Structure 1
Amino acid sequence: MVRLPAYAPMLAQLGTLTSVQGPDWAVEMKWDGVRALAYIEDGAVRLMSRNGKDITIAYPELQLMAGATGGRAAVIDGEVVAFDEAGRPSFEALQPRMHQRSPAAVAELVKAVPVTFMAFDLLHLGDAGVVARPYTERRQLLEGTLTPGYRWQVPVWFADHATRALESSQKLGLEGVVCKRMSSPYRPGRRSSEWTKVKNVSAVEVVIGGWKPGGGRRSGMIGSLLIGAYDPHGRLRYVGHVGTGFTQAMLRDLQELLEPLERPDPPFDEAVPREHARDAHWAEPRVVGEVQYAEVTGDGRLRHPSWRGLRPDRDPSEAGTTEIPPSGHTGNAVAG
């Protein structure tokens, strides 16, 4: 009986199209969902999140993928995605699936918001690891191993067409592209420029360091969040104040999460502007979320941030200032 070893997912660096041009690069679409490693063995599928949590119970419709590898054990890297009515990946639609663990509630959500596993890499097949093989060989193995089904796919990749692929991703309303050096091995647990993500949307993961009480329709609820990110020295920097993009359900979930984490002093390693610190409730920096923003100010603050949702699949230490490009950074060469 095969016992699959544990792997950590390889991570991509944020970059621009200028660094990933040429015949040495493959391009994939970037899927706006939850990263997961699928361990297929003994007739079952086990799903592990990017931060090493077992999320199998949340996505029971993916269990049928156990029969899609011809009886071979495998570890497959991919993204769990929910699609909206227009057929576009929707991070908002995926939110309730990410948090729910009650089997009865999950069963109802499967009907209302089914997910699809977008498989894009193969780490292990049978009794052998394949992480040392180049990208092109792993993709060929993946396409020959996983038979696409109703709730799982092996999306296409493109050779030397980063600009056109990014333009296509914009037209399709996708998050962007990931460019991968064709000769690169899979480097478990490492972030490498051999995988470079180029985004259409400026979005970043942040740590919640506090909140301000709401007024008016939000009276008695959270009104806005004080958010931060860790710099390369491990210091939690204040990066902004977000008060838009919330649904009532999101605000209730946030209140349940944050109130038990309340603390008397700010967790940030720098002063929070007085107008935002006034009347603030501070929280232990344990909850990770994602925000979209317009641009970055000269002092590293996010302008016009809007809440996208919680990221239970991320550890606080992963929310870094290195993922926030400096002011004037355009992200790609074709956005407009």
Structure 2
Amino acid sequence: MLATPGPLPTGPGWSFEVKWDGMRVLASTTGDDEPVLRLHTRSGRDVTANFPELTGITGLAPDVLLDGEIVLLDGGVPSFAALAHRMQGVVGTAAALRRPVVYMVFDVLRLYGVSLLDRPLSERRATLERLDLGGVDHVEVSPRYPDGAALLAVTAERGMEGVVAKRETSSYRPGRRSPDWVKVTHRHSQSCVVGGWRPERSSTTRIGALLLGVPGPDGLEFAGRVGSGLAGEAVQQVLRDRLGPLAAESAPFAAALPREDTAGARWCVPAVVVEVAHLGWTAAARLRQPVFRGVRDDVEPADVRREPEG
């Protein structure tokens, strides 16, 4: 279930949570005698081996499905940039424990084989809070707050991403963007689909810029290109691994691109989603001064849409 961008709701029947700057992950356990943990993104990518410090979740119940975000703290504040390297590959237990992540759980979708999807949020949260998450290392229940305006002010002061408001009576609709969950953010951030890339001037193998798009009514609409944030070798390797198998003969964008953007471009199937920070949108619907933040394996290309600036 996805949140819809919008103004902060007011009135009764809403609760409010911090919008964690992390990786959306579903955690499931199966098996009575020796429960097996599986961590996977909404796209179905298995990331269990990326976060070995979360194996204690198997002790909760032999059959449970949790929804939450994996975060990594930087200066006491969740940082997507700090988490980026953990999102991309297998990590040994010893290395993971030197700087462990925290799984902030905000929903329970199944327990002991019983689906809770049609139960109201208030009931699902009560069930979640009865589970012994406090006894699991590196796992916490994402707190709820009654005053959305106060939480929004606190998150702004601490440099956090924002707030998610949730209607207490809402059921859970997997994969759907719902008005029953509303997100309010403090900074401009945009998920984009990669439609191609341009090499660095001094190298034919290093990626100098990504060509970005946002799905629109007529297809993939060009949103500009991003070069800032791509210099690190770890970033380069991740992008090469993801984009290489997706090479295509032609541009996936709905309209022809300006020559200054297509010079030397290598096209790809629009299947990889990345996150960029930016300073707003130009009159030509291009991102202003975008900076690459990371690959978003927890976001499907079809779910990407232009986020409001305010």
TM-score where L is the length of structure 1 = 0.84
Write out aligned runs for 1:1-336 (5 A).
10-17=1-8, 20-42=9-31, 43-67=35-59, 69=60, 71=61, 73-84=63-74, 86-101=75-90, 105-107=91-93, 109-148=95-134, 149-159=136-146, 161-215=147-201, 221-233=206-218, 235-246=219-230, 247-320=232-305, 323-325=306-308, 329-330=309-310
Structure 1 residues not aligned, in runs of 5+: 1-9, 331-336
**1:236 Cα deviation from its structure 2 partner:** 0.8
Q: Tell me, in whole angstroms, the C-alpha distance in 1 between the residues paired with 2:160 and 2:13.
A: 24
Q: Tell me, in whole angstroms, the C-alpha distance in 2 between the residues paired with 1:90 and 1:61.
A: 18
Asked if the contact 2:54/2:137 (under 8 Å) is kept, the reply is no
**1:251 Cα deviation from its structure 2 partner:** 2.2
**1:196 Cα deviation from its structure 2 partner:** 0.6
Distance 1:47 1:128, change over 3 A: same
Q: Tell me, in whole angstroms, the C-alpha distance in 2 between the residues paired with 1:130 and 1:257.
A: 35
**1:73 Cα deviation from its structure 2 partner:** 2.8
For residue 44 of structure 2, what is the amino acid of its counterpart? Answer: G
Q: Using the TM superposition, name which of 46-55 and 179-188 deviates more.
A: 46-55
Question: C-alpha offsets along residues 35-93 of structure 1, whole Å, 9 cap, x if unaligned?
Answer: 111113333322221112222222121111222x3x46321111111112x12112122
Asked if the contact 2:45/2:297 (under 8 Å) is kept, the reply is no
Q: Which runs of 4+ in 1 moved over 6 A?
A: none
Asked if the contact 1:203/1:292 (under 8 Å) is kept, the reply is yes
**Considering only aligned residues, what root-mean-square deviation do their CA atoms show, in Å?**
2.0
Asked if the contact 1:33/1:81 (under 8 Å) is kept, the reply is yes
Identical aligned residues as a percent: 39
Distance 1:130 1:220, change over 3 A: closer
SS of equivalent to 1:92: helix
SS of equivalent to 2:78: coil
Asked if the contact 1:97/1:106 (under 8 Å) is kept, the reply is no
Q: Tell me, in whole angstroms, the C-alpha distance in 2 between the residues paired with 1:80 and 1:273.
A: 39
Q: Tell me, in whole angstroms, the C-alpha distance in 2 between the residues paired with 1:94 and 1:299.
A: 33
SS of equivalent to 1:303: coil
Q: Tell me, in whole angstroms, the C-alpha distance in 2 between the residues paired with 1:198 and 1:183.
A: 20
